[in-house]
Amino acid sequence: MGLAAGGRFPAGQILPYVIAQVAGAIVAAALLYAIASGAAGFDLAKGFAPLAIGLALVMIHLVSIPVTNTSVNPARSTGPALFVGGWALAQLWLFWVAPLIGGVLGGVIYRWFSDEPAGVVAGRK
């Protein structure tokens, strides 16, 4: 949404992109669940965010998960929430709304400060 608001992504491709992201997150969460559920001591609600995202985001997750149950991307939040259920699904709306608002605001601010003419989309004119 932010890229589209900033004129850097075609608005008509937002929905297919979001669907692909969410589908990928669900498949990844299902794979992690299938692999990890066979391990002794497996607990569905603990520690998977830093492992799933990777070493580049470990610090963000280790610091903010205990405080806010954070994630970095709405699709990444959706996949695991479907398997955790309950409290995770109840909070999921915020993990979609907040980044979308922030992305749109960022895109609008980018356009406001940018030298690019309106209508430029990712290298196309």
CATH number at residue 14: 1.20.1080.10
The pLDDT tens digits of the residues spanning 36-71 come to 777 777 666 755 555 555 655 666 667 777 776 677
Indicate whether 58 belongs to any domain.
yes
Q: Does 8 have pLDDT greater than 70?
A: yes
The tokens describing 114, both together, are 């940018």
In a domain, 120, yes or no: no
Map tokens 């997750």 to a residue. 61
In a domain, 123, yes or no: no
Domain presence at residue 119: no
Q: Which residue's structure tokens are 């004129």?
A: 7
Is 40 contained in some domain?
yes
List, as one string, the DSSP characters of 31-69.
HHHHHHTTSTT--TTSSHHHHHH-GGGHHHHHHHHHHH-
The verdict on residue 65 lying in a domain is yes
DSSP lists the bridge partners of residue 121 as 124
Nearest alpha-carbon partner for 88 in 96, 78, 97:
78
Range of the domain at 45: 2-113
Res 61: pLDDT: 66
Whole-model pTM?
Answer: 0.53
Q: 36: buried, middle or exposed (CB in 10 Å: 19+, 13-18, 0-12)?
A: middle
Q: Does residue 45 form part of some domain?
A: yes
- How many separate domains does the chain show? 1
- DSSP code for 7: T
For residue 84, being part of any structural domain is answered with yes
Question: Looking at this protein, which amino acid is placed at residue 28?
Answer: A
Confidence category of residue 90, pLDDT binned at 50, 70, 90: very high
